[in-house]
C-alpha cells in the first residue's frame, strides 16, 4: 500500500530541508508513536530525516548500511546495491547498458562490500544489530530514484525477521515505488513524482550532501539524548 500527500504529487521544492521532510514524515507515521517499531536509516542521506521521525515518535533509531554498486568510470550510476549483511541485488536493466565484463562486475561488488563493512564499523562500531524479529521496522531514506538501495535494505531487514517492513521517504519516483510495493506492508512517500527526469534533490529547497562525519554526529547526539 502507498500512502502519499496528494497536494504534493508531482511538485518540486516542497521541503525546506531534510528536517522539514522528517517532520512531515513523522506526521504521516503518527500511528507508530510510542509503539514497538524501530526506525532504521539508510546513511548518509536518510539519517537526518530518520532522526527527526524517531525523536518525534519516541522510537529507537539505528542504521541499515547499504551502498549502490557503481561502475569504475562513473560513481553516480548504480547497477545494484549491497547491504550490511552481504545481501546483493543487481539491476540487470542498468547493468546491460554498461558494457562491463563478469570480472569487472564482481570486482565492483567486492569493492562495495568493503565500503559497506567500513561504513558499518564507522556508524555502528561493534554493536550488534537490534533484534528485529517480529517487530515493525520503518526504513528511511531521503528519497527513492531507482530504488536499488531501498530494495536491498528491505531485503536485509526482512532477512532479520522484521515484520512488517515499512518504507518511509520524503520523495520518490512513481515507477520505482511501484516496484517496491511488494516488499513492504506500507510505503509512506509524501511527494510522489513521475516523468523521465527525476532527482531526489529537486524535492528540497535547501539540499546538500552529507558526509560521514555529520552522520556520525547526528547519531551520537540522538543516542546521547541530546536532541537534534
For residue range 159-193, what is the model confidence (pLDDT) as tens digits? 999 999 999 999 999 999 999 999 999 999 999 99
Q: Specify the 3-state DSSP secondary structure of 146.
A: coil
Q: Specify the 3-state DSSP secondary structure of 108.
A: helix
Q: Which of 15-24, 187-196, 213-222 has the lowest mean pLDDT?
A: 213-222
Q: Which tens digits make up the pLDDT trace of 31-47?
A: 999 989 999 999 888 99
User: Is 60 exceeded by the pLDDT of residue 227?
Assistant: no
Q: For residues 97-113, give the mean pLDDT.
A: 88
Q: For residues 7-12, give the mean pLDDT.
A: 96
Q: Which tens digits make up the pLDDT trace of 168-177?
A: 999 999 999 9
- pLDDT category at 98 given cuts 50, 70, 90 is confident
What pLDDT was estimated at residue 228?
52
What pLDDT was estimated at residue 165?
96
Residue whose grid cell is 527527526? 52
What pLDDT was estimated at residue 95?
85
- CB 19, CB 52: distance < 8 Å: yes
User: Is 90 exceeded by the pLDDT of residue 146?
Assistant: no
Residue whose grid cell is 517492513? 165
Instruction: Write down the mean pLDDT value for the chain.
Output: 90
Q: Which residues contact 126 (CB under 8 A, 6 or more apart)?
A: none
What pLDDT was estimated at residue 175?
93
What pLDDT was estimated at residue 225?
63
Q: For residues 100-127, give the mean pLDDT.
A: 88
What pLDDT was estimated at residue 185?
94
Q: For residues 131-153, give the mean pLDDT.
A: 92
Residue whose grid cell is 560513481? 75
Beta strand 80-83 pairing with 88-90: antiparallel
Task: Write out the three cell numbers for 215.
Answer: 552522520
What pLDDT was estimated at residue 31?
95
Q: For residues 50-54, give the mean pLDDT.
A: 95
What pLDDT was estimated at residue 179?
92
Whose CA is closest to 140, among 78, 90, 66, 69? 66
- pLDDT category at 124 given cuts 50, 70, 90 is confident
For the domain spanning 2-64+131-220, the CATH number is 3.40.50.2020
What pLDDT was estimated at residue 122?
85
Amino acid at each position: 500500500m502507498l500512502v502519499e500527500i496528494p497536494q504534493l504529487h508531482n511538485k518540486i521544492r516542497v521541503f525546506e530541508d531534510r528536517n522539514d521532510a522528517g517532520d512531515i514524515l513523522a506526521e504521516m507515521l503518527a500511528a507508530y508513536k510510542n509503539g514497538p517499531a524501530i526506525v532504521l536509516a539508510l546513511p548518509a542521506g536518510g539519517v537526518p530525516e530518520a532522526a527527526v521521525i524517531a525523536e518525534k515518535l519516541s522510537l529507537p533509531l539505528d542504521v541499515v548500511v547499504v551502498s549502490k554498486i557503481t561502475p569504475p568510470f562513473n560513481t553516480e550510476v548504480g547497477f545494484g546495491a549491497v547491504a550490511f549483511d552481504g545481501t546483493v541485488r543487481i539491476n540487470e536493466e542498468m547493468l546491460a547498458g554498461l558494457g562491463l565484463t563478469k570480472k569487472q562486475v564482481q570486482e565492483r561488488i567486492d569493492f562495495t562490500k568493503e565500503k559497506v563493512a567500513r561504513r558499518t564499523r564507522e556508524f555502528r562500531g561493534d554493536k550488534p544489530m537490534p533484534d528485529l524479529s517480529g517487530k515493525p521496522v520503518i526504513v528511511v531514506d531521503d528519497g527513492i530514484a531507482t530504488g536499488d538501495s531501498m530494495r536491498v535494505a528491505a531485503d536485509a531487514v526482512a532477512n532479520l525477521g522484521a515484520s512488517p517492513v515499512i518504507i518511509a521517504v520524503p520523495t520518490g519516483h512513481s515507477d520505482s515505488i511501484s516496484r517496491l510495493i511488494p516488499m513492504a506492508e506500507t510505503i509512506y512517500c509524501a511527494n510522489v513524482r513521475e516523468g523521465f527526469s527525476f532527482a531526489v534533490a529537486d524535492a528540497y529547497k535547501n539540499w546538500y550532501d552529507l558526509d560521514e562525519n555529520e552522520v556520525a554526529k547526528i547519531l551520537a547526539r540522538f543516542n546521547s539524548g541530546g536532541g537534534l
